Structure formats: structure tokens, C-alpha cells
């Protein structure tokens, strides 16, 4: 199982437009962050995308992605779904609808905000999507992966993370835009080889885990290794923050590829 971090930034990305801060003007490529998304490739070569933000087209071209078997949506904020119109070339190449998994809140938002995709139409060339409501969090399979939705809260919005267990026994979880996970849902996050979790900045935030909170979740779940994503420019320089972390915790960065 391979995870490729396509983007590791927040809704504005890093650098932020017109921001004068030192992080936004860093020359370190690790401090350049597109909107958060990840590509998971299983042992059979199936590609599963987690979130499809507004940088989707550039991310697919950068990594020469030629097929997607499924898209997992964490929630329907624009920085996580704003690239959905650009699945059209994949529809054409793969000759099928794109399989999209999300909770009811995200599905309702997609059907409202991108209504032209889901309304009956005869206009050729529009995106073709099959939506799967996984609000019940019952595990499902895509390729060689058993995928278990994990409930969390993004302030008042219910969001989903995803645990992925491969047939060879390897496991990972991807959690973003959360600031609360219940004890019951935390039970789904034990015995992980890899955890990816959002960590917006050093200071507390009203709807995202900050660095101390992310580290607390990691300490409770005890994954073999953890990577922090969805970082804002307020987190600081990649190189400096990386030095401050526990040995098994790292800062993710755009285009990082990990074979789990």
C-alpha cells in the first residue's frame, strides 16, 4: 500500500495570496502546500483518492495518474471537493461513472452545489458520478482494501476519516479537518501501521486539531508512524517543526510518497 500526498495545505494553500509572512516566502519546497488530498495505491495497483480539491487537475498531471477506482470524501467544503468537475477525462478514459463515497451531509452538499452533475441531463461531457452513502460507517471494499469510515467532528459538521486495511495485513488511517473524535471511534484507530492526521497550527483552533491535540490523538492510538497534514502557514517552517516532533511523528509535504 502506497500513499502519495498530493497536497498538504489548508483551504488557502501555502503560500497564501498576498501574505507577507516568512513561511509564505520560504524557499524550501517543503513549505509549498497545495490543498489537502492523498492518493492511496493498493497492492493490486488500484488507485483510491481521498478528497478532490480545487488543485485536483494539477495534482493528477504532476503524478501522471491515469485511472481512479474510487474517491473517498471526508466532507464537502470546497477545498476538499472543488475539483469534482475535472473527473470528466477519467470518465472518458475509464468508460464508467466515478465511484464516490461520502456521508449524507457531504452528499447533500454535492447534490446542491454541483446540481448540474446529478440532475437528469442529455448534455454530453458532464461528469458522471455514482454516490455511495457510507454514513452508517459499515466497512466496504475497494480493490484490495477494506475501508472503514471513522466519524469525527469539524466543529459542528460531521465528517469522515477512513481506515484502510490491505489483504496483506498493512493498515493506515487518514483523518483531516477534525477537532473531535469520540472514544468509540478512536477504537477504530488502534494497531495502525500509519496514521495521517490534520494539524492546522501550533495554537488551538475552533474547528481543527492544533499540534498538541494531534499529538495527543497519536499518543492514544499508538500508530507505528504518523504524518501531519492540512497545515497552515501558521504552523511554521517545515524544517523547524519537524525537529520538534516525537521520533515516530513527521510533517507530511506535497509529493511525499510512502510505501506502507
pLDDT in tens, the chain (260 residues): 999 999 999 999 999 999 999 999 999 999 999 999 999 999 999 999 999 999 999 999 999 999 999 999 999 999 999 999 999 999 999 999 999 999 999 999 999 999 999 988 777 889 999 999 999 999 999 999 999 999 999 999 999 999 999 988 999 999 999 999 999 999 999 999 999 999 999 999 999 999 999 999 999 999 999 999 999 999 999 999 999 999 999 999 999 999 98
CA distance 229 to 254: 9
CA distance 86 to 159: 23
Stretch (H or E) spanning 49: strand 47-50
Helices (H), the chain: 56-62, 78-81, 88-94, 104-113, 115-118, 183-186, 211-221, 238-244
206-225 exposure pattern, b = at least 16 Cβ within 10 A, e = fewer? eebbbbebbbebbeebebeb
CA distance 248 to 200: 19
Are 162 and 149 within 8 A, CB to CB? yes
Are 183 and 162 within 8 A, CB to CB? no
pLDDT score at 86: 98
pLDDT score at 124: 81
pLDDT score at 122: 72
pLDDT score at 123: 76
63-86 exposure pattern, b = at least 16 Cβ within 10 A, e = fewer? eebeebbbbbbbbbbebbbbbbbb
User: pTM here?
Assistant: 0.97
CA distances from 245 to 174, 199, 230, 241 (A): 19, 12, 16, 7
pLDDT score at 191: 96
pLDDT score at 188: 98
Nearest alpha-carbon partner for 27 in 235, 255, 237, 253: 237
CA distances from 225 to 195, 238, 260 (A): 7, 18, 10
Are 22 and 14 within 8 A, CB to CB? no
Nearest alpha-carbon partner for 8 in 147, 189, 29, 185: 29
Phi, psi of 96 (to 5 degrees): -160, 165
Q: What are the structural domains of the chain?
A: 2-259 (3.60.15.10)
Amino acid at each position: 500500500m502506497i500513499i502519495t500526498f498530493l497536497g498538504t495545505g489548508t483551504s488557502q494553500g501555502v503560500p497564501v495570496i498576498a501574505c507577507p509572512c516568512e513561511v509564505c516566502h520560504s524557499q524550501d519546497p517543503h513549505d509549498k502546500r497545495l490543498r489537502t488530498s492523498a492518493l492511496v495505491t493498493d497492492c493490486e495497483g488500484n488507485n483510491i483518492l481521498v478528497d478532490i480539491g480545487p488543485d485536483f487537475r494539477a495534482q493528477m498531471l504532476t503524478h501522471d495518474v491515469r485511472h481512479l477506482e474510487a474517491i473517498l470524501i471526508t466532507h464537502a467544503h470546497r477545498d476538499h471537493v472543488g475539483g469534482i468537475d475535472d473527473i470528466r477525462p477519467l470518465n472518458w478514459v475509464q468508460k464508467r461513472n466515478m465511484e464516490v463515497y461520502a456521508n449524507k451531509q457531504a452528499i447533500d452538499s454535492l447534490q446542491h452545489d454541483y446540481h448540474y452533475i446529478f440532475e437528469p441531463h442529455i448534455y454530453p461531457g458532464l461528469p458522471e458520478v455514482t454516490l455511495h452513502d457510507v454514513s452508517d460507517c459499515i466497512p466496504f471494499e475497494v480493490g484490495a482494501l477494506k475501508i472503514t469510515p471513522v466519524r469525527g467532528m469539524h466543529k459542528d459538521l460531521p465528517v469522515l476519516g477512513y481506515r484502510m486495511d490491505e489483504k496483506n495485513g498493512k493498515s493506515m488511517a487518514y483523518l483531516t479537518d477534525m477537532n473531535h473524535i469520540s472514544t468509540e471511534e478512536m477504537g477504530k484507530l488502534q494497531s495502525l501501521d500509519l496514521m495521517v492526521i490534520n494539524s492546522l497550527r501550533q495554537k488551538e483552533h475552533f474547528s481543527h486539531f492544533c499540534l498538541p491535540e494531534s499529538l495527543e490523538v497519536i499518543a492514544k492510538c499508538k500508530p507505528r508512524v504518523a504524518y501531519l497534514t492540512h497545515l497552515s502557514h501558521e504552523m511554521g517552517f517545515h524544517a523547524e517543526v519537524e525537529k520538534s516532533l516525537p521520533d515516530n511523528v513527521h510533517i507530511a509535504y506535497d509529493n511525499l510518497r510512502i510505501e506502507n
